[in-house]
Amino acid sequence: MLFDSAVHSVIIHTPFITKKQFLELSSFFEVSLQAGKSVSGASVDANGKFVVKVEKRTIDFVDYISANYVLVATGSSQQGYSFAAQHGHSIIPPVPSLFTFKIADKRLADLSGVSFTRVTAKLMLDGIQKSAPELTQTGPMLVTHWGLSGPVVLRLSAWGARELYQDKYQAKLVVDFIPDIHIEDVKRILFQHKDQHA
């Protein structure tokens, strides 16, 4: 959580800097870093300023910080949503996204680890119009030991997140492994191959 009080406070959230660099940047921006504490409440005082309640997890410690602005950046913490709701924001309950698909199809088992550079996969969900373009994705796909993964599957899991949740994660997936070749051309190639090698 970021709050602007007497000193300017900036949070830099990136995995690409070391702890030392982070501390240097914090000191440069006059950021006060407080570890081992959590924000347990944020209210507004009579002057319209935020009052942020900070508690230490291990000991009996409570502090109140006055702030002009509060930025809630608590990730998926339920507490963060509560703070936002308390201050008038409406919260749409989140559902999981960006996951792989578990598929009980024995034919996939022996293909575990095989990747395809370009497939087209269509997710068929109850109550969804067949034409929903975002539920058809083209790109790389990977067969895993329990189903399918890769960019195509992750994208479908994101676009279909709410409907998959509603349908208790039961859906049909149609995969075209040769999306750039017309079915008649495939047949012709196979017949040619048969003629040459049978």
Ligand X SMILES: Cc1cc2nc3c(=O)[nH]c(=O)nc-3n(C[C@H](O)[C@H](O)[C@H](O)COP(=O)(O)OP(=O)(O)OC[C@H]3O[C@@H](n4cnc5c(N)ncnc54)[C@H](O)[C@@H]3O)c2cc1C
Q: Which residue ranges make up the site for ligand X (CB under 6 A)?
A: 1, 13, 38-39, 73-75, 77, 79-80
Q: Which is nearer to ligand X, 17 or 109 (CB)?
A: 17
Q: How far is the CB of 160 from ligand X (least distance, A)?
A: 19
Q: Which residues contact 50 (CB under 8 A, 6 or more apart)?
A: 3, 42, 43, 44, 66, 67, 68, 69, 70
Q: Which is nearer to ligand X, 61 or 191 (CB)?
A: 61
Rg (CA), the chain: 26
Per DSSP, the three-state class of 162 is helix
Per DSSP, the three-state class of 148 is strand
Token pair, residue 20, equals 């030392």
Q: Which is nearer to ligand X, 79 or 100 (CB)?
A: 79
Q: How far is the CB of 40 from ligand X (least distance, A)?
A: 6
Q: How far is the CB of 80 from ligand X (least distance, A)?
A: 6
Q: How far is the CB of 162 from ligand X (least distance, A)?
A: 18
Token pair, residue 167, equals 């349908």
Q: Which is nearer to ligand X, 80 or 147 (CB)?
A: 80
